[in-house]
Chains A and B, each alone.
Chain A
């Protein structure tokens, strides 16, 4: 069975510092990986997906199949980045659309 692990429950950085939220997965096939974000008093929403290879709000994430990781990075954190971040995996195939989420990381960016 697939599994997503986010080792840090809490992560604190100062404004302007680099930030990296870790995500590791276990799955024998070819997964699709995603990062979802939940800002205070807002709904959980998609931040980015690995297949798009895009940068959203300055965040990037590279899928490393060798290390089975999909870490989320931003070179200069902003206070508005403070939120709960979830890494998620989709197996595709008959489980198309079904996501497995990690435990989540609460990021706090201090002024």
Chain B
């Protein structure tokens, strides 16, 4: 099964601990994204990256960090500075060009990781 994968599916963390969520894609997509999904608030962008070794903050980057050392991988670290980390986290990827079967704007999503802080 190709596409975009996230692990683990469920994650529990004690307060004060950092935790890293994995996101991998084999779609050869240039761009990758991390979203947080909360009931009634939709998807909010945490970080995104359009190229290896470069990434930009989204709307709610505080308390999170990312890296993009490989095109295929975009791990997200939820740090102890994140005040309300319990949420469902979605990773996505997309092409940047308008050519190909996936035109502009189509993002492919992973299955998500549910993080619970105890």
- B-contacting residues of A (Cβ < 8 Å)? 6, 9, 32, 34, 43-46, 49, 51-52, 86, 88, 90, 92, 96-104
Is the interface on chain B under 10, 10 to 19, 20 to 34, or 35 or more residues? 20 to 34
Number of A-B contacts (CB under 8 A): 61
Distance in angstroms between the alpha carbons of A17 and B71 in the assembled complex: 46
Q: How far is the CB of A83 from chain B (nearest CB, A)?
A: 14
Q: How far is the CB of B60 from the nearest CB of chain A, in Å?
A: 12
Pairs across A and B, CB under 8 Å, 26 listed: A32-B105, A34-B106, A43-B109, A43-B110, A44-B90, A44-B92, A45-B108, A46-B105, A49-B103, A51-B103, A86-B43, A90-B105, A92-B104, A96-B96, A97-B31, A97-B50, A98-B48, A99-B45, A99-B105, A100-B45, A101-B43, A101-B44, A102-B42, A103-B40, A104-B42, A104-B43
Q: How far is the CA of A9 from the CA of B42 in the complex (A)?
A: 10
* Contact indicator per residue, chain B 72-93, by CB within 8 Å of chain A (1) or not (0): 0000000000000000001010
Contact A9 B40 (CB under 8 A): yes
The interface residues of chain A, by DSSP majority, are classed as mixed
Tell yes or no: B63 within 8 A of A by CB. Answer: no
Q: With A44-B90, A86-B43 as given contacts, are A99 and B107 in contact (CB-CB < 8 Å)?
A: yes
> Is there an interface contact between B42 and A32, defined as CB atoms closer than 8 Å?
no
- The residue from A97, A103, A104 contacting B105, defined by CB atoms under 8 A apart: A97
Q: Is B94 an interface residue (CB 8 A)?
A: yes
Of B41, B95, B106, B112, the contact of A49 (CB 8 Å cutoff): B106
